[in-house]
Amino acid sequence: MNPLPEEGGAAVSAPETNGAPEQAPPEPIGAAAPWPPVAQRLRAAYTLHASAERTKTVSIVPGRYHGELAFRARPIAYEDWRKEAERAQRRGVDNAEAETAFAAKVICHSCETILVADEGELRPAAEVVEEFAGTGPVRFDARLCQLLGIEPVPSSEYAICRLVFSNKQAMQIVLRELLQFFAEETAGDEEEDDADRPI
């Protein structure tokens, strides 16, 4: 046992270790273990979805409009689009007209604003087209018909949507993309940048 100096010069004895290295005091019972990185990422994802409005940019017939026309979509309530799906089903499972009408309704209801290319970036049409300034977000409405030169202007947004696409297969592709986005099978725009993902 090695004597240690004490205050005032007296010596005290160090505790016996029997040659074993000293150990840190044990964790108190019930102390939480540190969360692994995956838990931190999952918590961040949950917090993001709980506090943020999810949106997704959806291109409109890119082979025709060369990626210069799109719309920003937001999720719509499951009950809303499900009702439309049931109506389409009642008209006939193999009814192409019912399928197209259903796609048009989901596209129109989810559309937050029409986007157009401006110096290589997609921006809201109301911000790019001077004539539309101050008129609110452009959707599948008469302003989009004016932009594309569609005449006469159809009486409903669904009819306008169908004319803008003029391709039933393209509408079905967009419908599938939207339903996957609603169900969170695919990410929205706010999650697509890897630099913003939590580590």
Mean pLDDT of the chain: 82
pLDDT digits (tens, 9 = 90+) for 42-72: 888 888 776 568 899 999 999 999 999 999 9
| Residue 26 reports pLDDT greater than 80 | no
What's this model's pTM, rounded to 2 decimal places? 0.72
* Cα separation, 188 vs 85, whole angstroms: 23
Is 14 within the bounds of a domain?
A: no
Count how many Cα atoms sit within 13 Å of the Cα of residue 23 in the half-sphere of its side chain. Answer: 6
pLDDT digits (tens, 9 = 90+) for 160-179: 999 999 999 999 999 999 99
Is 136 within the bounds of a domain?
A: yes
* Cα separation, 113 vs 115, whole angstroms: 6
Domain count, the chain: 1
Question: Which of these, 75, 73, 105, lies nearest to 87 by C-alpha position?
Answer: 105
**Residue 85: pLDDT band with limits 50, 70, 90:** confident
Is 33 within the bounds of a domain?
A: no
Is 199 within the bounds of a domain?
A: no
Is 40 within the bounds of a domain?
A: no
Least confident of 23-37, 105-119, 121-135: 23-37
Question: Which of these, 185, 165, 169, lies nearest to 177 by C-alpha position?
Answer: 185
Please tell me the predicted confidence (pLDDT) of residue 192.
Answer: 43
Is 48 within the bounds of a domain?
A: no
Is 110 within the bounds of a domain?
A: yes
Least confident of 13-17, 68-72, 120-124, 130-134: 13-17
Which parts of 20-155 fold into alpha helices (H)?
A: 37-51, 62-65, 78-90, 96-110, 125-128, 142-148
Is 184 within the bounds of a domain?
A: yes
Sheet holding 111-118, edge to edge: 56-59, 69-73, 111-118, 121-124
pLDDT digits (tens, 9 = 90+) for 179-196: 999 988 887 886 444 334
Domain containing 184 equals 54-190
Question: Which of these, 196, 183, 182, 186, lies nearest to 44 by C-alpha position?
Answer: 196
